[in-house]
Structure 1
Amino acid sequence: MARRALILVEGASNMLRYVQAASRLGLHPIPLSADPTQYHCLAAKGIEAIRVDTDNLDALIGECSRLRATYDIAGITSAQESVYATVGKLCRHFDLPGPNPASIERCCDKFAQRQLLAEAGVPMPAYRLAADAKDVERSAAEIGMPVVLKPAVGAGSCGVRLCRNVDELTEHTTYLLGGKHIWRSSPRMLVEEFAQGSYYCADIMGHEVIGIQSGDFGRPPHFVYREFTHPALLTDDEQERIADLSLSCLQALGLGWGPTCIEFRWTELGPVVIEVNPRLGGEPTPQLVELAYGVDLVTEHIKLAIGEEWNLHRRHSHTAAVRFLVPDRDGTVDRIDGDSQAAAVSGIAEVKFYVEPKMPIVRKGDYRDCIGYVIAASPDFIETAVALQRGVDLIDWSITPFPTLGE
């Protein structure tokens, strides 16, 4: 009898969690990747990703057809936004449960997303589509400074910047159009009103809002996450308004199968939608949700993908928080330590480093700037905050700046 397998098409930072969850469900995980070397963490599990062009539907169909000769493919899924629409098409080809690829494609195009949300009356920042520098300048003048300038397709805050004046706008436009930014589509940009207010993100499975987290960023002009806390400190009315707005987004965009995370800013006019992401939140969002509510989003997503009934019942109500470790300079890592001491602090749930000594650090102004994180959890908000700070205080690193010309 053929062994049941789960095909994982890429997986970004959550790949290892999907592999582990699949194994616990009695499935044989088979990762497919355009660059298997990025998943070196799988080696300890005896898993090796298969190299295939994951942007090429025909190539994926061919590889999955080959694997079907050996395995009973129970499901195909992914946690990576850039391939999720392709995964939806792959699922339809093999008659397996999966997301609606057309809905995913529309959602991943931020301009198309904005248009659909606007038609549905969803509150959001003013926006314009721009194809060149003149469009950007004109759009910013119409909206008024400050504005957020970002690619129309992308994730992880890559290429996203707050432009507070004309000089910053010109500089970032030149960067985006000057060949340094890697475009996943034709060079189109969104110029958006900067919605000022507290940041929140709703984590959703199907049509159920599992939880709402608060977030904090480092210093502008970039949007590099500094801290998340699950659940956010909101009144019942505030929670209801964000939950209702989340469901409106799902309906407007034709979503509601599997995971979605929706970002908000609470402005003077109330919550406005910053972005709808048709995927599971990146690491460590699944850990926070599980620590806070006892719901394993990765496992439940896999169950959905293989046609089994999921369980989104909350098992408890705790507070979980993460602090991201972000360097303040480029250079070479001399040392990074304190992880074992931090992990020993009562309330610390996880400490993770992405770098090690001798590695070069070149900040990008997006999610890639994070060199690690510390997570704390407890039944009490204050206890969690205190434990998190104690853990973070034990982490220490040093970075030697790169030599300048002439040195």
Structure 2
Amino acid sequence: MTDPRPLHPTTPTTTTPTVVLLEAPPTGAGEAAVRLIRERGHQPLVLTHPDGRMPAAGAARLREAGAQIHHCRTDDTDAVTAHCRTIDHLAALTTLYEFSVQVAADAAARLHLPGPDPDAVRRCRSKALLRTTLEPHPGLNAAFGRAETTQEALAHAERIGYPVVVKATTLAGSAHITLCATPGDVVRDAGRILSLADYLGFEVPREVLVEEYLAGEEFSVEIFHGRGIGVNAKLLGPPPHFIELGHHYPAQIPAPLAAELLRTAERAVAATGLTWGPAHVELRCRFGRSQPRVVEINPRVAGDRIAELVRLADGVDLFGAQLDALLGRRPDVRPRALGGAAVRFIPSPGHGVITHLTDPAHLAALPGVREVRFQRAVGDRAPRMLSNLERLGHVIATGDDTAQAVERAQQALGHCTVQVTDPTPTKGP
């Protein structure tokens, strides 16, 4: 649904320097970024695609936070560059949105603005190119194969050995990532990916990645300027999908494992050349039984409110550091150990019309709860959970340590009720 109000046809005339954000994630990170830009004395301007991929409610929240909003072909580097050249006092161009990181990096380079190396972003943005980039570096990679047909995907799976992970190469949010235990699974899921023309309005390359399944627990390391800030632990849903149901920071793991995760993540971003600004490195390992190996590298501040967990637990504002780097200031990313923080996502119960959601004010009043947000409302259809996009919302809680934060987030999640009617039977995995 598009915002019915006309967007500004002209650029700001104020002498206040402008920071441009390319699109904004729906989790609330965009509004937080807009507020921080204003606090730093700059004018935030969000560029969004004219096809309506940003819902009206999202645009309204960004305006309420203080942003101007312009329409622009945000998936086109030429269009973004041309639009930014019309903006007086342009100070920076950046994004928090996975699907926009490449265009933002390319356009910033053309405009001679600070930012990450566009080639490094490209190496991370493509999951297939990332695997190729990491291949010469021992201990970082999983066995993999890139395929353009289902038969090629099947051949890679037979070579690697079952189970394998089949994934699209440029998507995000755990979309179209499946654990495949049989040849039939590979043919089915590779075929689905290869048949995609677009996703959320973005073109999907006709290719699929087949990877060795890395058994074990999953973590992420938050990076800035090539150095690890801390380790986040993930809570994943059941196979065959890899939907993220929660995170807690800092991870409750032995110090030697945390150090090894940090070293591995730093090696990985160095291998890609992504040594400017933020990176979110996902890794997997078995406690005491395997070395960490890289799952993915996202060339941006972590999504899923992980960056907010880092801010609450360590006092490090990752977007604030990114903004400082963009504006020529020295980022402060020294952890301060304030406690622990956890986010838990509200799962969808499946197809049906939502008839009741717990009042968010009730959840917000619970001990330690710092943020409550619903992505859907009464009257919306509750979707089947196939990716992170189908989650209904989230709660964030803090505590004196990570264990207390997790307990409080789980308690808040337990107080959240979702009722649906008119269930629709579904088929398939």
**Aligned partner of residue 355 in structure 1, secondary structure:** coil
CA contact (8 A) 1:146 1:194 kept: yes
Q: Which residue of 2 aligns with 1:299?
A: 320
Q: Which residue of 2 aligns with 1:3?
A: 16
Per-residue CA deviation, residues 254-308 of structure 1 (Å, 9 max, x unaligned), is 0111110111111332211111111111131121111110111111111111111
Q: TM-score, normalised by structure 2?
A: 0.89
Which residue identity lines up with residue 12 of structure 1 in the other structure? P
Q: Which residue of 2 aligns with 1:229?
A: 248
Distance 1:166 1:283 in 2: 33
Distance 2:67 2:243 in 1: 32
CA contact (8 A) 2:248 2:406 kept: no
Q: Which runs of 5+ in 2 are unaligned?
A: 1-13
Distance 1:245 1:403 in 2: 45
Which residue identity lines up with residue 364 of structure 2 in the other structure? A
Distance 2:424 2:333 in 1: 52
Q: Which residue of 1 aligns with 2:224?
A: 205
Residue 83 of structure 1 and its aligned partner are, at CA, apart by: 2.1
Matched, 1:332 2:353: yes
Matched, 1:380 2:401: yes
CA contact (8 A) 2:225 2:278 kept: yes
Q: Which runs of 5+ in 1 are unaligned?
A: none
Per-residue CA deviation, residues 17-75 of structure 1 (Å, 9 max, x unaligned), is 2111101101100110114643322132353421100121221122111112xxx1111
CA contact (8 A) 1:338 1:394 kept: no
Write the mapping of 1:251-330 to structure 2, written as runs, cut at 5 A.
251-267=270-286, 268-330=289-351
Matched, 1:216 2:223: no
Distance 2:116 2:261 in 1: 23
Distance 2:235 2:279 in 1: 20
Q: Which residue of 2 aligns with 1:31?
A: 46
The verdict on how the C-alpha distance between 1:181 and 1:46 changes in structure 2, with shifts beyond 3 A counting, is: closer
**Aligned partner of residue 174 in structure 1, secondary structure:** helix
Q: Which residue of 2 aligns with 1:396?
A: 417
The verdict on how the C-alpha distance between 1:395 and 1:300 changes in structure 2, with shifts beyond 3 A counting, is: same
**Aligned partner of residue 67 in structure 1, secondary structure:** coil
Matched, 1:355 2:376: yes
Mean alpha-carbon deviation: is it higher for 201-210 or for 11-20? 11-20
Per-residue CA deviation, residues 303-343 of structure 1 (Å, 9 max, x unaligned), is 11111111112233411111111113112111111422221
Mean alpha-carbon deviation: is it higher for 18-27 or for 122-131? 122-131
The verdict on how the C-alpha distance between 1:404 and 1:154 changes in structure 2, with shifts beyond 3 A counting, is: closer
Q: Which residue of 2 aligns with 1:50?
A: 70
Distance 1:306 1:139 in 2: 46
Residue 403 of structure 1 and its aligned partner are, at CA, apart by: 5.0
Q: Which residue of 1 aligns with 2:83?
A: 63
CA contact (8 A) 1:96 1:306 kept: no
RMSD (CA atoms): 1.9
Write the mapping of 1:132-171 to structure 2, written as runs, cut at 5 A.
132-171=149-188
Q: Which residue of 1 aligns with 2:11?
A: none
Distance 2:102 2:187 in 1: 33
Matched, 1:92 2:109: yes
**Aligned partner of residue 49 in structure 1, secondary structure:** strand
Q: Which residue of 1 aligns with 2:135?
A: 118
Distance 2:191 2:128 in 1: 21
Distance 1:46 1:213 in 2: 31
Residue 180 of structure 1 and its aligned partner are, at CA, apart by: 7.1
**Aligned partner of residue 2 in structure 1, secondary structure:** coil
CA contact (8 A) 2:38 2:44 kept: yes
The verdict on how the C-alpha distance between 1:167 and 1:278 changes in structure 2, with shifts beyond 3 A counting, is: same
Which residue identity lines up with residue 270 of structure 1 in the other structure? Q
Which residue identity lines up with residue 23 of structure 1 in the other structure? R
**Aligned partner of residue 389 in structure 2, secondary structure:** helix
CA contact (8 A) 2:165 2:213 kept: yes
Residue 157 of structure 1 and its aligned partner are, at CA, apart by: 1.4
Aligned-pair identity in percent equals 25
List structure 1 runs of 4+ shifted beyond 4 angstroms.
Answer: 402-405
Residue 364 of structure 1 and its aligned partner are, at CA, apart by: 5.2
CA contact (8 A) 2:38 2:66 kept: no
Q: Which residue of 2 aligns with 1:178?
A: 195
Distance 2:387 2:300 in 1: 18
Q: Which residue of 2 aligns with 1:369?
A: 390
Q: How many residues align?
A: 402
**Aligned partner of residue 154 in structure 1, secondary structure:** coil
Distance 2:338 2:293 in 1: 26
Q: TM-score, normalised by structure 1?
A: 0.94
Mean alpha-carbon deviation: is it higher for 3-12 or for 28-37? 28-37
